[in-house]
Amino acid sequence: MMSAQTKAKTKKMQQDALQFEEKWKNPMKRPFLEKIVLNIGVGSGGEELERAAMILEVITGRKAVKTISKKNVKEFNLRIGRPIGTKVTIRKEEAEKLLQRLLIVNNNRMLKKSFDNYGNFGFGIVEHITIPGIDYDAELGIFGLDVVGRIVRPGMRVKTRKQPKRANIPKHHYVSRAEAQHFLRTKFGVKIVDKLEVEFL
């Protein structure tokens, strides 16, 4: 039997869902997955960074680029300008197909705290070999990676295009936390949870 608090949360979610579906009838309000970024941080350059880049290329079929340190952190021996990781950005339909594969690793579950109020979400994958279609390669080893996605509405490009036509986006045009969660539920079958339970084989 559901508690009063659970009933209230369920009712609120249902009300939000109805509001979102009504809003999405307007094509300019309908959100879509703009991109996902896969990132592996290794903290330094060299052979380990090259192996991490190869793993991302195997997963995505795209060329990985290096990420560069933007600050000095003496404790971690980081210096501005040094390579510290590697990433790949995937967009549009290709991003949707890849996200579906990546979500399987966590049984299509995502933490509530993995969302912000601007359409961004993220989750981690502890071992890349748990991704469907990826086999273990002893020469590459095993790496964990972070996945970050962005859900937007049409028209967001005006914020990032080159001057002088760049424009600010009003806050109401961003995709909220609740709306992003509803989008992933309906589009990808994601279940939003408070914590991810570890399954033992």
Which string of DSSP letters, residue by residue, matches 28-83? TT--EEEEEEEEEE-SS-SHHHHHHHHHHHHHHSS--EEEE--S-BGGGTB-TT-E
186 CB-near residues (< 8 Å, 6+ apart): none
CATH, range 26-193: 3.30.1440.10
**77 φψ region: left (φ > 0), alpha (ψ -120 to 50), beta (else):** left
Residue 150 to residue 95: CA distance in whole angstroms: 10
How sure is the predictor about 164, in pLDDT bands with cuts at 50, 70 and 90? low
In the chain, DSSP assigns E strands to 32-41, 65-68, 83-91, 109-111, 120-125, 145-152, 191-193
| Per-residue pLDDT tens digits for 82-123 | 888 999 999 989 999 999 999 999 999 999 999 999 999 999
pTM across the whole model: 0.85
Q: Where are the domains of the chain?
A: 26-193
Is residue 201's pLDDT more than 50?
A: no
Q: What is the mean pLDDT of residues 148-171?
A: 74
Residue 173 to residue 176: CA distance in whole angstroms: 9
pLDDT at 200 (0 to 100): 41
